[in-house]
Each structure stands twice: as C-alpha cells, then as structure tokens.
Amino acid sequence: MQTIRQVLAIAHTEFRFAFRRGSVVAVTAIIGLLVNAGILVGPFASLSAWVANSIMTPEKIQKLASFGLTVAEYAKFLREALSDMFVATTMLAWFGIFLALLFLPIATSSTIPADRQYGVSDLLRSTPITGFDYLAGKILGVLAMVLLIGALMLGLFYAITEITLFSTLHYGLSYGTDLFFMELTLLDGLPILIWGTTVGVLIGIFFRTRRAAIFPGFLAGVASLVGWAFTFRAPRHGIFGGMTDLAHYYLVQNYHSSAIELECRLGGQDANLLNIAGAPHVGFGQLALMYLVVIAALVILVTLARLWFQWKENF
Amino acid sequence: MITVSQLTKTYGNKVQALRGVDLEIGTGMFGLVGPNGAGKTTLMRILAGLLRPTSGNVSVLGNDVTTSRGKLAVKSVLGYLPQELGLYPDLTAIEFLEYVAVLKGITDKIERKKQVDETIELVGLSGDARRKMRTFSGGMKRRVGIAQALLRKPQLLIVDEPTSGLDPEERVRLRNLLAEMSVRCMVILSTHIIEDVSQSCNDLAVINLGKVLFRGSPGDLIAQARGRVWNLITSGERPDSDLTVVSTMQIQDGAQYRVIGTPSEAHKAVSVEPTLEDSYIWLMQQSRT
C-alpha cells in the first residue's frame, strides 16, 4: 500500500510538471487536432450536398420507390452514409496518430533528465523507493497527462461533429460510428500513446540534461515509427493504402451499417463506401498478438531500464 | 552505530576515491573533515545507499547497505542533504516537502501535514513556505533541504557540506539546528570548513586522498599539534619556506605570523595553543611529507 502511494505521489508530481512544462501537452494536442481536422475536413466540405440530397421532390420519391425505398428509409440511409463517410476518411487522416510515435518520445524524454538537471535526483534516491517505483511513477504521471489531452481531443471531435451536424442536418453521427471512433481511440490510439510516452521516458534515463535527451528522443521516435509500421503493418488492399496498422484495419473491416448493406444490396459489394471485398482478413488473434508484442516489448524495456538504474546508479 | 571496514571505491575512470577506509561512528554529531576531493562525498553517498562500494563492508544501524534490503532499510530511517542540492523551481516549499514526505513513507495525510508544518517552523521558513522555490535565496534552499531531511524523524542524518555558500548568520543557525538534532539522532556532518566541526562535533575523522588520517575528538587532534604552532614577528620578510603560514597580521614594526612547523631559533618564535584549524593544517602537512 505504501509503495502504491509513493508511486502515485511521483506520478502526481510528474503530471503537474508535464502540464507546466507544456511540451507533452502541446505535442498531444497538436496531433489530436491534426487527426480531428483530417477526419472532419472531407465530410464537412460536402455537408451542403447532403443537405441538398435530403430535400425531397416528387421525382426523387418516385425514383426511391423504384428501388423499393420509402422516404423514411432513405433519410436513415443518408444519415448512416454520412456517418460511414467519417469512417472512410480515417483511412488517410488516422495516419496523424502515428506521428505520436515520432514526437511523443521527444516530448517525454526530458522527464528523468529534468530531475538530474534540477539536482533533486540524489535527494529522491535517498528516500525508501526503488528504481522501479520511480520509473513507474514517472511513466504514469506523463501518461496520465497524455491520456487526458487525448481524451479531450476525442471529446472535442465528438462535440464539433455533433454540433455541426445537428445545426445543419438536424441529426448527428450514427451510434455505430460513435462507437467506431471510441474503439479506434481505445484499440489503436491508446497503445500508440502508451508506447510513445513510455519509450520517451525510458530513453531519458541515460541523460543528465533535458537538452541532451532531445535528439536521442527523436531517434527513439523514428525507431518507434518505423518499427510500428513494419511490425503491425496492415495488408495493402484497395482503400487501405498501407497507411495504417492492424488495429485500424481490423476495426474498419468489422465496421457495419445499414447504409453499407443497402449499397451492397443495390449495387453489389464493390459499390459501398468502405469496399473491402476480397481484402485479406485480419482476425482478432492477430490483434491480440499485436497487443501482446507491445506489452512484452514494454515490459522488456522497463526491465532493462530498471537494471540500468540498479547497475549504474545503485537505485 | 555505523561500521565501515576496508571500504574502497574506484570510479569507472580509475579514480580511487576511497582506499581502505575503516571507521566506527557512534551516536551524537560526527564530523567528517577533509579538503575538496578527499572522498568525503563518496563516503557519504555510500553510507546513504546511493553509491555501491567497490569492496569492503558497510553496516549502518545494523543494515548492510550493499544489499537491496539493507539499502531500503537504511533509507527508511535516513535524512539526507546532498552536497549539490537542487529543488523543483516550480513547486512551493510546502508542495515539495509534502512530496518528499510521501516518498519517505508518511502516507497519513494528517500526520504528513503536521510533520511538514513542524519542519518548516523548525527551519524558519513559515513565512515563505507558499512561495515558488525559484524565488528562494541559497540559504532558503538549504533550509528546505534540511527540512526535507528532517521529515519522518530520521535516526540517521547525513549532511554533506551543508554550510557552503551560506552567510555567517545562516551558517550559525544551521549549525545550531544540527547540534539540536544530534540529541535525538545520529548526525554525520561532512565539511571542509573546520569551524563548523569545531563548534558542534565531539567526534571527528579527517580524510584525505581516500584515507582516514585521524580519528578521535577535536581535543585529541589539537593535542597532536601542540608544540607545533608558533607566533613569530619579522621586520616584513616571510618566514622560512618549510613553515606553513596560517595567518599574517601587519603590525607597526613589521609582520606577525602564525606558523606551523619547527621555526629556527633566530625567529624567536613563541609557542601558542593550536586551534582545531591549526591542527588540521598540521595534519594535512604531515600527510604530504
């Protein structure tokens, strides 16, 4: 119990420092805004077309009837198809989240060197905490700030989207699309943010000043980005241009809506917005393996850092 | 009780900081004196469990600090003020002390607040405790350092060069505080300022080049230098080069020197009672010959 409180105390202090120093907040917020803007720009640019499509004329009603559709069914289709468009936009815009792998290590690499630079390192090490407690507290503190900003960015996305859609079209995103973005954030965004933050904090253990840790942080970021892209690369197929990873691919592959079903019914599989006909299948097993690799790699890195502390600093 | 036997420490760059140190330290206030680079800080850091010795045994309050378990046990009863003290500039003194208090294991909120308030009061920082520490003077930062060391009422207080950079008033205040603390816990004061030791320690060791040159009371050290400290007056010229000049005072007919060594009869030197500083300089001189 005492150890947990000590770890939380370190995390709490680091959380405040992360806020005051600003770099972690800035990097996370910029990446979040970039992803949000990337996803929103396409659908929002075509909002006027959706408004026009929703205006019913006798000719249009007659045409719908020839497809066996009522006006109510068409209205539902429009709403869902717009939501699907948001999902389709992530094919390119979600790439922005991978920048967190590159830039978060730079922003978080100064976490431990800061203690040495301020001269509090010896003082902290003279208290009854272990090197592991110290590392855990530092990582948790910075991570808490990253996740808070990440959550705010997701909230901002929902707020902007819903307010804009309701004010122009009088409806919001479908439930399935809301869920898709939540899952995308948790299943893909979260591991990326955890990895970027942790690697940055850990790379900092080798350096005595914040400035000295920046370039190695950048190198760790490049290695993370390349490593992630190589290890968790999604199959290249159709709209999946190889710009995403397994988790994103898995979620898009398993995304369903009644609008897509209707498009398939009327025009065949190839006609729908998220055409993944014939695409290689990514199963849950591959996704689980991805998380297992991430967790194992993080455990190995933290263990190595702990051993380094023990060997080099008797901590 | 602290027992150190055959302690050596060699850094990666082959610098031998400690060369077979044997030392026993009991209760009260113990002074560790030596010039810069003597190995004092290395010894302090080993005692505090921050540095691993190359060889030898170190037992602090019955715990072997070379083991993980022993190290944690020592740290849980330790108050440590490092030589190069730094503080988080963005925190207030209270925030910082609260933080250290939790790390020291004071998890009860009421007890923590009580101890933080008490130590702030003790070091005379009550009026400034809510200010960001970036605005603190060197002396105030030292006082915060002492305050954090006193949290959780340590059984062992290790203070490394605590008075360096302080003005005389701050130095006296700190010395008195440490002397008060030595009534209830073991205090080890490392310093190169002899006056700090002469005013507060009843037990001391002199260390140089990683070896203990003297171990005993200030009186014992003074006794060793007795008959080797002299006052002599010249018409202006400096005394023989084999004498170490401790002080020089210009007088009407020339200059009065306080010297250590064996002056020639021509100087008409008068033997004087050595101070602790004279004795220390004599000891250093002896170690070089």
**pLDDT tens-digit map of A63-87:** 888 888 888 888 888 889 999 999 9
Confidence of residue A239 (pLDDT cuts 50, 70, 90): low
Q: Which pLDDT value is given to residue A240?
A: 66
Q: Examine the pLDDT at A305 and tell me if it is beyond 70.
A: yes
Q: Which pLDDT value is given to residue A109?
A: 97
Q: Examine the pLDDT at A167 and tell me if it is beyond 80.
A: yes
Say how far apart CA A95 and CA A71 lie, in whole Å: 37
Dmax of chain A from CA atoms?
82
Confidence of residue B289 (pLDDT cuts 50, 70, 90): confident
Query: Which of A173-177, A196-200, B174-178 is predicted with the least confidence, judged by mean pLDDT?
Result: B174-178
* Total Cβ atoms within 10 A of residue B288: 8
* Total Cβ atoms within 10 A of residue A149: 22
Cα radius of gyration (chain B) = 22
How confident is the model over B17-30, as pLDDT tens digits? 999 999 999 999 99
Burial B80-100 (b: 16+ CB within 10 A, else e): bbbbebbbbebbbbbbbbbbb
Say how far apart CA B152 and CA A76 lie, in whole Å: 67
Which site among A5, A111, A123 would you substitute to test the B interface, given the most B Cβ atoms closer than 10 Å to its Cβ?
A: A123
Say how far apart CA B163 and CA B153 lie, in whole Å: 21
Question: Which residue of B82, B88, B99 is in closest CB contact with A9?
Answer: B99
Q: Examine the pLDDT at A99 and tell me if it is beyond 90.
A: yes
Say how far apart CA B195 and CA B275 lie, in whole Å: 10
Q: Which pLDDT value is given to residue B266?
A: 72
CA B239 to chain centre: 33
B71:A17 CB<8 A: no
> What average pLDDT score do residues B255-273 get?
87
A residues 4-63 lying closer than 8 A (beta carbon) to B: 5-6, 9-10, 13, 16-17, 20
pLDDT above 70 covers a percentage of chain B that reads 100
Q: Which pLDDT value is given to residue A249?
A: 92
Which residue, A48, A249, A18, is CA-closest to A145? Answer: A18
Q: Examine the pLDDT at B265 and tell me if it is beyond 80.
A: no
* Torsion of the alpha carbons at B49, B52, B54 and B56, rounded to the nearest 10: 30
> What average pLDDT score do residues B117-135 get?
94
Say how far apart CA A99 and CA A141 lie, in whole Å: 21
What value does the mean pLDDT of chain A take?
92
> Is any Cβ of chain B less than 8 angstroms from the Cβ of A270?
no
SS3 A118: helix
Q: Which pLDDT value is given to residue A104?
A: 97
How confident is the model over A141-164, as pLDDT tens digits? 999 999 999 999 999 999 999 999
Question: What are the C-alpha distances in Å from A235 to residues A242, A244, B70, B104?
Answer: 6, 9, 54, 52
Residues written for chain A: 315
Q: Which pLDDT value is given to residue A241?
A: 66
CB A135 within 8 A of CB B57: no
Ramachandran region of residue B164, left (φ > 0), alpha (ψ -120 to 50) or beta? Answer: beta
Q: Examine the pLDDT at B263 and tell me if it is beyond 80.
A: yes
Question: Which residue of B49, B50, B99 is in closest CB contact with A13?
Answer: B99
Q: Examine the pLDDT at A46 and tell me if it is beyond 80.
A: yes
A residues 65-124 lying closer than 8 A (beta carbon) to B: 117-120, 122-124
Q: Chain A closest CA to B6's CA: distance in Å?
A: 20
Q: Examine the pLDDT at B234 and tell me if it is beyond 90.
A: no
Q: Examine the pLDDT at A293 and tell me if it is beyond 80.
A: yes
Which residue, B285, B239, B236, B230, is CA-closest to B258? Answer: B230
Q: Examine the pLDDT at B174 and tell me if it is beyond 80.
A: yes
ipTM associated with this complex: 0.89
Confidence of residue A242 (pLDDT cuts 50, 70, 90): low
How confident is the model over B204-222, as pLDDT tens digits? 999 999 999 999 999 999 9
Report strand pairing: B203-208 vs B186-191: unpaired
